Amino acid sequence: MGLSDAEGNVARSIDRYFPDSNRGSSTKGARWDPIADTASLLIICAGGLFAPKIPITGKIAIASVLGHEGVKSVWAARKNILYMNATGQQLEIPPTLQGKESMAEKFTAVTLAVITNDIDHEQTKQIIGLGALGFAITGSLRGEIQRRIYAKKANDLIKNHSRDNNESR
């Protein structure tokens, strides 16, 4: 999961140290980064749900992250379709620090939950599972707040484009 964010750091470093190389960050890379993050998170979540020794707290943490990512993905696909119908272009809303923090908390939750599969000491497993649940709840709540901010921005973009089209007629 950590590698899904590492490529962005590498690209930004290339931009900083070799600005004219055309091998660093790109708009296409920036557009695909949240999709790659979500895909890696969903893959790890699916594996974690079927892992035999993860405690119920860890499984609830994974399920809550999986649920929020599912809601977020369906929302993003629907808004993108609405925006594409209105403009003919992909909807692009720049990532925010809060959105990145939310994703980091969800990654942490899933990592902690998956780690419990290899721990034999029951009390330690339960404590780590509770930690995973705490990160999952925090990340999902923060992610939902951010999604609502994105929703307002997306609605404003669609509304402004529709108004501009009506005025030009």
Distance CA 142, CA 136 (A): 10
The answer, yes or no, to whether residue 32 has pLDDT greater than 70, is: no
Can you give the residue ranges of every domain in the chain?
34-168
DSSP label of 121: -
What pTM was estimated for this model as a whole? 0.75
Give pLDDT, residue 12: 66
What tokens does 143 get? 């992610």
Tens digits of residue pLDDT in 118-129: 999 999 999 999
Distance CA 125, CA 53 (A): 9
Distance CA 51, CA 167 (A): 57
Beta carbons within 10 angstroms of residue 93's beta carbon: 16
Tens digits of residue pLDDT in 147-167: 999 889 888 888 887 766 666
Rg (CA), the chain: 19
